[in-house]
Structure 1
Amino acid sequence: MDTPESPRTTTAVRDALTTLLVDAEDTDALDTLAGSEVLIPVPDDATDEDATDPGTVALPVLEQPGGRQTVPVFTSEGEMAELLPSVTRYRLVPLGALAAQWPADELSLTIDASSPHGLTLDSHGVRSRLARF
């Protein structure tokens, strides 16, 4: 079974991200991305119960310039370590399921923020393009 660290899965997801940078409406790339699993850093202030509860996921929120808030997720441990080297815990979550439960406010989602194939979607884009479940 492929994991976020397997070369085949990581390459397919990175290819999808790269494609979406050129064509944000590419349905094959969106389907690949929505069907992948992402690593969500567990916030430092999350309790062990919150970090392991299968019914909830604590979202780490980073403040961007201009006050915009985004949740960083990653396609691999290596991508996560580049931006957030101090993170010691994370949750592996299907991106399509996360998108289906995405808050309706102005919270953005950033995938692999520090990489050349990084992608940011606003809350509407997350729900309309990635929600699959």
Structure 2
Amino acid sequence: MTDPHFESGAFAAQQALRTVVENGADEAALSTLAHSEVLVPAAADAEGPAPKALTLPVFEQEDGTELVPVFTTQERMEQALPRMHRHRSVQLGALAHGWPSDNLSLVIDAGTPEQLALTAHGVKALLDREEG
């Protein structure tokens, strides 16, 4: 059963991604992204209650770049990572606010036309929008 609220939020996030990919750092689109919920893949063997700390899945690319993939929908996650069926939902801006490393990149919706890859600096500069 899909959550209509999440689905409408996912659509808004995908539209914002498209805007940023096509037009660059659009403030309204970046704000929409920062306030969007994304899915962070979780290990299949994770059982029981969700841990208090979020464990980020880190993938190393052939060039040595380490990145964390997040997705706007479960379908997009399973298309990119077919063996991943579990996830945790987190607000993208909160994830950016606690970004753990200056050497870790973020990719949103890998393998889609709206794919957006950001360096650690880009994650903090573009998506860390704490409400004050």
Give the TM-score normalised by structure 2.
Answer: 0.88
- Residue in 2 aligned with 1:69? 66
Residue 24 of structure 1 and its aligned partner are, at CA, apart by 2.4
Q: Is the contact made by 1:43 and 1:59 (CA closer than 8 Å) also made in structure 2?
A: no
**Gapped regions of structure 2 (runs ≥ 5):** none
Cα RMSD (Å) of the superposition?
Answer: 1.7
Residue 9 of structure 1 and its aligned partner are, at CA, apart by 2.0
Aligned residues: 127
Note the alpha carbon deviations across 1:67-117, whole angstroms, 9 max, x for none: 101000000001001011111211000111000000232100000001110
- Residue in 2 aligned with 1:53? 51
Q: Secondary structure at the match of 2:69?
A: strand
Q: Secondary structure at the match of 2:63?
A: helix
Q: Is the contact made by 1:43 and 1:58 (CA closer than 8 Å) also made in structure 2?
A: no
Task: List, as ranges, runs of 4+ consecutive aligned residues in structure 1 with deviation greater than 3 Å.
Answer: none
Are 1:2 and 2:5 matched, yes or no?
yes
Are 1:127 and 2:124 matched, yes or no?
yes
- Residue in 1 aligned with 2:36? 36
2-structure distance, mates of 1:43, 1:59:
10
| Percentage of matched positions with identical amino acids | 43
Aligned with 1:78 (options 75, 81, 85): 75
1-structure distance, mates of 2:86, 2:57:
12
Q: Is the contact made by 1:104 and 1:124 (CA closer than 8 Å) also made in structure 2?
A: no
2-structure distance, mates of 1:65, 1:91:
26
Are 1:111 and 2:108 matched, yes or no?
yes
**Gapped regions of structure 1 (runs ≥ 5):** none
- Residue in 2 aligned with 1:17? 17
Q: Is the contact made by 2:9 and 2:37 (CA closer than 8 Å) also made in structure 1?
A: no
- Residue in 1 aligned with 2:99? 102
